Structure 1
Amino acid sequence: MVYTLWGEPDSGSFMIEAALAEAGQPVNLIDIDLTKDEQHHAQYLAINPLGKIPALRFEDGTTIVQSAAILLALSEAHPDANLMPAIDAPDRRHALRWLIHVAAEIYPLIEVYDYPLRFAPPETSDTAMRSRVRHRIRERWVLVEQAASAGGSFLLSGFSAIDLAIAVISNWAIGAEWRAKECPKLTRITETVSVRPTIAPVWHRHFGEKPA
């Protein structure tokens, strides 16, 4: 039995698919078309009642959601892939802190940016709402930029699953020109991830020829 991943190209499922590629694990991909609202069909809601992607079914039949939880579970299942620093490694606590920062403080705001009127009264200006949310997202990315390693190729001293999260999530909402100017280390992390040999085919499936 192989892993089964529910996701969609150009979505957060990239980081899970890339982690599986890094671990050398085969995966059965099931694309959920968000433009057709397939994430709210009964069949998928039985997998994730929140109606969000990604979701991953493990080889033992267990299915879990929430990207950070999936990445941590994969790091435990495949320690040789070095998706997260080992428990006794100096980077471990920093890794946990920044993975949760990206997953909890930034990732949820993407939904608010994309669908502002889900979170505000109908009379709210969606343009003004997006502007304020973008400002907050940028503030939180700057903190990650400041924490990134001096070399700028990875967040920590070496590759980790956090770099996958940075690569995909920092592609959204903040603007490529702003990221290149204000967060050059995050831009470099994205570039490094996108051409990493094990991950490049996954990047291409999700983003095509879009530059990192």
Structure 2
Amino acid sequence: MGYTLWGEPDSGSFMIEAALAEAGQEVHLIDIDLTKDEQHHAQYLAINPLGKIPALRFEDGTTIVQSAAILMALAEAHPQAHLLPALGAPDRRHALRWLIHVAAEIYPLIEVYDYPLRFAPPETAETAMRSRVRHRIRERWLLVEQAASSEGSFLLSGFSAIDLAIAAISNWAIGAEWRGKECPKLTRITENVANRPLVAPIWRRHFGAQEN
């Protein structure tokens, strides 16, 4: 049956598509056009009632959503890809901590930044709200940068699925110039991801060419 991935370019589905490429797995891609609100069509809501992407159907027919959960499931299904440290490995706890930090503390704020009036009354000043949300997102990225900068950090010890999440999600809301100046370690992780042989063509399709 193979894998089926619902997503869209320049979205969180990049992480899943890239992880599958690293694992040597083929995937059937189904684009959900967010500009046409296709994520709220009945056909897709039957797959994910939250109306969000990505969603992944596994080879056994099981479909799951939530990017962190999908990445963890793929790491279990394809241990040879080393998407996460193995069970019992000392770094696994750190890996799970930072994967969930990025997925739960930062990723949801992107929706608030992009669509502030989904979360505030119509009289809210969108510009002011975006400014405050961006500040909060940057604060949370700085925690990741600080961890990546510490001696012996797991985050720069080798490739993992967390790199995919960092590379994709740090592309949004905070500004490339700010990231380059304030988060050089995260910028390095992003550049490494964009240039990985199996990931590079997927990166270009989602985000364009990586500027060096």
Query: One-letter code of the match for 2:50?
Result: L
Q: CA deviation at 1:161?
A: 0.2
| Structure 1: gaps spanning 5 or more residues | none
Per-residue CA distance 1:136-172 (angstroms, 9 max, x = gap): 0000000000111569997242111000000000000
2:195 maps to 195
Closer, same or farther: CA 20–169 of 1 in aligned 2, 3 Å: same
Q: Distance in 2 between matches of 1:153 and 1:192?
A: 16
SS at match of 1:6: strand
1:59 maps to 59
Per-residue CA distance 1:159-209 (angstroms, 9 max, x = gap): 110000000000000000100000000000000000000100110111122
2:109 maps to 109
Residue 10 (structure 2) pairs with residue 18 (structure 1):
no
Query: One-letter code of the match for 2:205?
Result: R
Alignment of 1:4-15 (within 5 A): 4-15=4-15
Alignment of 1:134-153 (within 5 A): 134-148=134-148
Closer, same or farther: CA 152–172 of 1 in aligned 2, 3 Å: farther
* Alpha carbons 2:7, 2:13 under 8 Å: kept: yes
SS at match of 1:105: helix
* Alpha carbons 1:83, 1:159 under 8 Å: kept: yes
Alignment of 1:41-52 (within 5 A): 41-52=41-52
* Alpha carbons 2:116, 2:129 under 8 Å: kept: yes
1:118 maps to 118
| Structure 2: gaps spanning 5 or more residues | none
Alignment of 1:152-163 (within 5 A): 155-163=155-163
Alignment of 1:70-85 (within 5 A): 70-85=70-85
Query: One-letter code of the match for 1:48?
Result: N
Closer, same or farther: CA 87–31 of 1 in aligned 2, 3 Å: same
Alignment of 1:154-173 (within 5 A): 155-173=155-173
Q: CA deviation at 1:90?
A: 1.4
Q: Distance in 2 between matches of 1:57 and 1:76?
A: 15
TM-score by length of 1: 0.96
Deviant stretches of 4+, over 4 Å: 149-154
Equivalent pairs counted in the alignment come to 212
TM-score by length of 2: 0.96
Query: One-letter code of the match for 1:52?
Result: K
Q: Which range moves more in the overlay, 152-161 or 12-21? A: 152-161
Alignment of 1:170-189 (within 5 A): 170-189=170-189
Q: Distance in 2 between matches of 1:153 and 1:62?
A: 35
